[in-house]
């Protein structure tokens, strides 16, 4: 039997999975990305992670990677999360190493493709994916293919302006972006603002479950901005369904109020909006989506 290797290259970890021809994950493992060590170290870590799963039965490799991607040329253009990362011909590098075809795209886009074909959006033609993590990613699948727009610069939901008067700076340097107000980074900011203390994402979530006032206030304001961000997506694209993924999607006290309040911000609030759901595949959606882009049917 022939197999595919799917890879999710994130800011913290590299997840690799061995995928069969029906896009089922047979086994997977995670390895550190080590972004602070720079480009060469990250490429080496990606290569070593793939090598752990590679055999002569592997016929293709697909990657979903953070940042801007030229999917047609197989180039990872840029991400601020990896030191010195600029116009890296990642597909070519890996193809020379493993002697099989290699394809790559942005991680949020392959997440969306996975949901459109295998997941919550499989019965719909217009599927939007939103990933909530350290930042916010997005994708649009139309008739089971990712819509890439001009130069693949599309569905950058995280960099839409949610609060023009905000003084909170996004990773990109701009103010008031969706990502700056609703993300893991935003969670740290809000909690410190309300409590005066610095906590990590897991600690803040734990405090919210224990009814900590500052933590609950953090999630209330993030839920409000999440509702505005989702409403902007609906007002602009009007998809059949929005699927929310990423690590923060597991926090029901963030996602549920945000989804509930979306109608407040729709341009035609009486109109029935799209279905908004959380992924059921929190752990494998990106590696499965990465495997899917090796198939010309979905490119």
Q: Which pLDDT does position 270 carry in this prediction?
A: 65
CA distance 246 to 282: 7
Regarding whether 248 and 172 lie in a shared domain, the answer is yes
Q: Which pLDDT does position 152 carry in this prediction?
A: 76
How many structural domains comprise the chain? 2
User: Under 8 Å CB-to-CB from 13, ≥6 apart: which residues?
Assistant: 30, 31, 32, 33
CA distance 21 to 291: 9
Q: Which pLDDT does position 92 carry in this prediction?
A: 98
Q: Which pLDDT does position 246 carry in this prediction?
A: 94
Regarding whether 57 and 131 lie in a shared domain, the answer is no
The model carries a pTM of 0.95
pLDDT band at 5, cuts 50/70/90? very high
Residue 116 lies inside a defined structural domain of this protein = no
Residue 246 lies inside a defined structural domain of this protein = yes
The predicted model gives 71-99 an average pLDDT of 94
Higher pLDDT, 151 or 19: 19
Q: Which pLDDT does position 269 carry in this prediction?
A: 64
The predicted model gives 72-84 an average pLDDT of 89
Residue 104 lies inside a defined structural domain of this protein = yes
- Could you tell me the sign of the dihedral formed by the alpha carbons of 243, 201, 166, 253, in that order? positive
pLDDT band at 151, cuts 50/70/90? confident
Q: Does 33 have pLDDT greater than 90?
A: yes
Task: Give me 30's structure tokens.
Answer: 């995670």
Regarding whether 65 and 28 lie in a shared domain, the answer is yes
Q: Does 224 have pLDDT greater than 90?
A: yes
Q: Does 176 have pLDDT greater than 80?
A: yes
Regarding whether 260 and 165 lie in a shared domain, the answer is yes
Residue 227 is part of a domain; what is its CATH number?
3.30.420.40
Regarding whether 290 and 270 lie in a shared domain, the answer is no
Q: Does 8 have pLDDT greater than 70?
A: yes
Q: Which pLDDT does position 185 carry in this prediction?
A: 92
Residue 88 lies inside a defined structural domain of this protein = yes
Regarding whether 292 and 260 lie in a shared domain, the answer is no
For the beta sheet containing 136-142, the strands, ordered from the edge strand earlier in sequence to the opposite edge, are 145-146, 136-142, 126-132, 241-245, 275-278
Q: Does 271 have pLDDT greater than 70?
A: no
Q: Which pLDDT does position 9 carry in this prediction?
A: 96
* Bridge partners (DSSP) listed for residue 75: 70
| Total residues found in the chain within this entry | 299
Regarding whether 191 and 158 lie in a shared domain, the answer is yes
Regarding whether 234 and 263 lie in a shared domain, the answer is yes
Regarding whether 273 and 133 lie in a shared domain, the answer is yes
Residue 38 lies inside a defined structural domain of this protein = yes
Regarding whether 170 and 129 lie in a shared domain, the answer is yes
Q: What's the whole-number average pLDDT of the chain?
A: 95
Regarding whether 196 and 267 lie in a shared domain, the answer is yes
The predicted model gives 65-80 an average pLDDT of 92
pLDDT band at 299, cuts 50/70/90? confident
Residue 117 lies inside a defined structural domain of this protein = no
Task: Give me 179's structure tokens.
Answer: 């990502």
Structural domain range at position 149? 124-278
Regarding whether 19 and 150 lie in a shared domain, the answer is no
Residue 95 lies inside a defined structural domain of this protein = yes
Residue 118 lies inside a defined structural domain of this protein = no
């Amino acid at each position: 039997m022939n197999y595919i290797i799917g890879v999710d290259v994130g800011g913290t970890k590299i997840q690799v999975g061995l995928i069969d021809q029906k896009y089922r994950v047979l086994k997977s493992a995670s390895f550190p990305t080590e972004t602070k060590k720079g480009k060469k170290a990250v490429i080496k870590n990606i290569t070593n992670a793939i090598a752990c799963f590679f055999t002569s039965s592997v016929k293709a490799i697909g990657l979903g990677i953070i940042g801007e991607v030229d999917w047609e040329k197989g180039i990872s253009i840029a991400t601020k999360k990896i030191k010195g990362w600029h116009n890296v011909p990642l597909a070519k590098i890996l193809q020379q190493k493993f002697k099989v075809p290699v394809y790559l795209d942005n991680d949020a886009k392959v997440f969306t493709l996975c949901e459109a074909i295998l997941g919550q959006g499989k019965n719909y033609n217009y599927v939007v994916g939103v990933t909530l993590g350290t930042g916010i990613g997005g994708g649009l699948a139309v008739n089971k293919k990712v819509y890439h727009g001009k130069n693949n610069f599309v569905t950058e939901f995280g960099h839409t302006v949610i609060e023009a008067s905000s003084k909170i700076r996004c990773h990109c340097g701009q103010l008031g972006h969706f990502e700056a107000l609703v993300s893991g980074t935003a969670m740290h900011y809000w909690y410190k603002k309300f409590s005066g203390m610095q906590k990590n994402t897991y600690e803040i979530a734990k405090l919210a479950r224990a009814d900590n006032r500052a933590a609950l206030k953090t999630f209330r304001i993030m839920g409000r901005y999440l509702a505005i961000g989702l409403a902007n997506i609906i007002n602009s694209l009007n998809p059949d369904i929005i699927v929310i993924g990423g690590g923060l999607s597991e926090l029901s006290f963030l996602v549920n109020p945000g989804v509930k309040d979306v109608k407040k911000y729709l341009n035609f609030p009486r109109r029935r909006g799209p279905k908004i759901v959380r992924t059921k595949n929190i752990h494998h959606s990106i590696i499965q989506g990465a495997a899917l882009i090796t198939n010309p049917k979905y490119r």
